[in-house]
Amino acid sequence: MHEQDQLAERFETHRAHLRAVAYRMLGSLNEADDAVQESWLRLSRADVTGVANLAAWLQTVVSRVCLDILRSRASRREDPVGQQVPDRIRDADDEGDPEHEALLIDSVGRALLVVLDTLVPAERIAFVLHDMFAVPFDQIAPIVERSPVTTKKLASRARRKVRGTPAAPRTELARHRHVVDAFLAAARSGDLNALLAVLAPDVLRRADPAVLPSGAPTEVRGARAVAEETVVLGRRSRFAAPALVNGVVGIVVAPRGRLLLVLTLTIEGEKITEYEVIAAPARLRQLDLAVLDE
């Protein structure tokens, strides 16, 4: 077999792992595939006869490619919530790739993708490689151009951001998580009775105007009115996941892992008494988002 064909065959055995690494670093399947392809191009032009561990070599290459992409995003000030609200809402409503959505949920988790997008590039690389793929800090350090000690600090800082700071006891968070899970399940299935069961009789729904159909009120009160509206607008709930929002249980709506909306909730007992749908980019940036422990 030709030497280049043999190299291509060896590369293919590592493609799935490289794609998984790149996807977690970039949060975009298309960009992850581009990063993997760039890694192949670099491999095909390199002399790797002296490389003892091709898997580690390729992981380093794809990580450096991803770091360059993340830095390029930052230099362009590419903000995942910077697009105008009506455009983002329309883009989400047009999203029609359920297979991709399943990949987001199964492989990483929607809330984690949202939080990873808040990290600076070096933090994200260090966290993904160490915490998700168990790469030692001395191997990560050259990639992010830091010392091993500083690289460890980068990952630690990222870990604190990912975990957040709960503002309520664990038992209360778990109880509220149960309520939110029930609300999302009812919204996804369009089950009006299940929604009524989780909403307080005088529940208040507030929303940024851009989220709503033209002419819809920014405030709606009463379980039936809120439940009926949720059934109508519930198609976005397939992009939703529980998250820690300002230290308490909330909901992020993130098509393709990019933040679109956040729901802040007030929960009393087993009922949602109030929630607000936040979509304005400036308001979203002010929220402290973290992953909610299972």
Q: Do domains 3-74+121-163 and 170-290 have the same CATH topology?
A: no
**Is CATH 3.50.50.60 the right assignment for the domain spanning 3-74+121-163?**
no
* Assigned architecture for domain 170-290: Roll (3.10)
**Domain boundary assignment for the chain:** 3-74+121-163, 170-290
Cα-to-chain-centroid distance, residue 227? 27
Q: Strand 240-245 vs strand 248-253: parallel, antiparallel, or unpaired? A: antiparallel
Nearest in space to 10 (alpha carbons), one of 34, 30, 41, 40: 40
Rounded CA separation 237/185 (Å)? 9
pLDDT for res 265: 97
pTM for the full predicted model = 0.88
pLDDT for res 253: 94
Note down pLDDT in tens along the chain; length 294 residues. 577 888 899 999 999 999 999 999 999 889 999 999 999 999 999 988 888 999 999 999 999 999 999 999 877 755 555 455 555 555 555 555 566 656 656 678 899 999 999 999 999 999 999 999 999 999 999 999 999 999 999 999 999 999 999 999 999 999 999 999 999 999 999 999 999 999 999 999 999 998 888 888 999 999 999 999 998 877 788 899 999 999 999 999 998 888 999 999 999 999 999 999 999 999 999 999 999 986
Instruction: Evaluate whether 264 touches 135 at the Cβ level (below 8 Å).
Output: no
pLDDT for res 19: 94
pLDDT for res 76: 72
3-state secondary structure 185-211: HHHHHCCHHHHHHHEEEEEEEEECHHH
Instruction: Evaluate whether 267 touches 273 at the Cβ level (below 8 Å).
Output: yes
pLDDT for res 25: 96
